[in-house]
Amino acid sequence: MALIRSVFQEELDGVSQSLVDLTNMVSDSIHKATQALISADLKLAEEVITFDERVDYYQHDLDSRIIDIIARQQPVATDLRALVTALRMSADLERMGDLAHHVAKVARLRHPNSAVPNELHATFTQMGSVAEKIARKVGTVIETRNTLLALEVEKDDDEMDSLHREVIGALTSSSWNKGVDSAIDLTLLGRYYERYADHAVSVARRVYFLVTGEYSPA
């Protein structure tokens, strides 16, 4: 029995580790996608686009493992909830990969120009940093189950929302002179970063709930 429990525990730890791996993969992706976007770097954009297939594959494989663990170990209560939650977190993380991929596709589409005009470079660089930071933090939250850190993610998301409002503010200001095509790009890009952070928040909230049995207060 002790042995079975320990194999099971190892399997659960393996699932956690794979989720952390996914957070690192999507952190790298959004970092590179942002660089590709600002510097109109086609090679880097292509790299993110290709890499997304690996994220999808990794997530798919993780999900199969989780379902297999449920089938073999027939966990109940807490363990079952942890495994179901892992399935949901992997879906959030996969989606974050998709959104980095979307950013890279806009970069590729507008190459050799940057889809982001100079006056918004700082804002988008900042959105990229916040996105990367939030994804890394969520990795630590999964690893350590630190609920205080999980709550911090909500604040990072506020920072992203405020940057997002900055973008919309620039587009709707009377001095905006980059035309509608650019406004469409920037609206979508703003949305991608915002959704990226939303999914990170969702992962952090799921960990918070698993640990405390309560919804996070934010």
DSSP conformation class of 76: -
Q: By C-beta, is 40 or 171 nearer to a second copy?
A: 171
Q: Can you tell me which of 1, 2, 71, 148 binds a second copy, judged by CB under 8 A?
A: 71
Contact 81, 213 (CB under 8 A): no
Smallest gap from Cβ 133 to a second copy, in A, equals: 25
Interface residue with a second copy, options 70, 82, 151, 218 (CB under 8 A) = 70
Is 151 among the residues that bind a second copy (CB under 8 A)? no
Least CB distance from residue 144 to a second copy, whole Å? 25
CB-wise, 118 or 172, nearer to a second copy? Answer: 172
Which amino acid would we find at residue 108?
Answer: R
Choose between 8 and 176: whose C-beta lies nearer to a second copy. Answer: 176
Distance CA 5, CA 171 (A): 57
Task: Compute CA distances 76 → 71, 73, 115, whole Å.
Answer: 11, 9, 50
- Distance CA(104)–CA(32), nearest Å, equals 8
Give exposure, 79-97, as e/b (b: 16+ Cβ within 10 Å): beebbebbeebbebbbbbb
User: Any residues with CB less than 8 A from the CB of 8 and at least 6 apart, and which?
Assistant: 69, 73, 75, 79
Draw the binding track, 76-115, toward a second copy (x: CB under 8 A; -: no contact). Answer: xx--xx--x--xx--x------------------------
Show contacts with a second copy in window 163-182 (CB under 8 A). 168, 171-172, 176, 180-181
Q: Contact positions toward a second copy, by CB under 8 A? A: 67, 70-71, 74, 76-77, 80-81, 84, 87-88, 91, 168, 171-172, 176, 180-181, 183-184, 187-188, 191
